[in-house]
Amino acid sequence: MQFAEPTKPRQEIRVISATPRVHRLGILLSGRGSNFLAIAAAIAQGRLANATIAVVISNRRDAPGIAAARSAGFATEVIEPQGRKRAEQDAEIVASLRAHQVDLVCLAGYMRLLSAEFVRAFPQRILNIHPSLLPAFPGLEAQRQALEYGVTVSGCTVHFVDEELDHGVIVLQKTVPVLADDDEHTLAARIIVQEHVAYAEAIDRVISGKYRFAGRRYVAAQTETE
């Protein structure tokens, strides 16, 4: 007589989905902080997922942006120049960012040039937003420069920060028309609306990690369905 082999217990297969990593942002600002507030709103509304603001740092104690951050309950620090060399102030800021375990530094109207040591402390992990279509009109008063040059299209640029002014690899740009009756204020008002959209979108692209550099070009990685 043959006996059937006992059936083996069916092995249970568990599929465990990894929890997406939450990236910690460090915001640097010098003024009203409208781009900081736009980033915070994008996170709160779920438009910028997998990100949290770890700390907001200003070089000015009277900056409205730092007051807004404090009122909203974010960790804040004021690190003023106080006659020190830029590298000394930057070293203190870098130490603060590291203490708050920041993954990505976002300059949001930060009106100080970063030292080479600062940039090297966060390689390809510092973003800036500029109110022009770089490489056109870098530096201060970009809207005035655009109007004086007579362009018919302007906009904003989110780019990685390197050791040169407004020079790093561009993540994305958004455009606005320059109207015949524009002045610096009306043009700036339309550009900043696009800045508030562009910065959150750029942060989302960067923290996804789905990109590569081809020379100076930011190239989004293709998905399997593309």
Q: What residues act catalytically?
A: 130
Widest Cα–Cα separation across the chain: 100
pLDDT at residue 67 greater than cutoff 90:
yes
Arithmetic mean of pLDDT over the chain: 90
Q: Give 28's pLDDT tier (boundaries 50, 70, 90).
A: very high
Higher-confidence position of 107 and 13 = 107
pLDDT tens digits along 122-181: 999 999 999 999 999 999 999 999 999 999 999 999 999 998 888 999 999 999 999 999
Q: Listing from the earlier edge strand, what are the strands of the sheet with 170-177?
A: 76-78, 51-58, 23-29, 104-107, 126-130, 153-160, 170-177, 217-220, 211-214
Contact of 153 with 177, CB cutoff 8 Å: yes
* Residue 63 banded pLDDT, cuts 50, 70, 90: very high
Higher pLDDT, residue 126 or 8: 126
CA angle, 119 then 121 then 123, to 5°:
65
Q: How much is the pTM?
A: 0.87
Q: Which of 184-188, 206-210, 218-222 has the highest mean pLDDT?
A: 184-188
**φ and ψ of 188, to 5 deg:** -60, -40
Q: Is the pLDDT of residue 16 over 60?
A: no
1 pLDDT more than 60: no
- The DSSP symbol for 226 reads -
pLDDT > 90 in the chain, percent: 81
The CA-based angle 167-169-174, given to 5 degrees, is 95
**H-helix or E-strand containing 173?**
strand 170-177
Q: What local confidence, expressed as pLDDT, does residue 5 receive?
A: 47
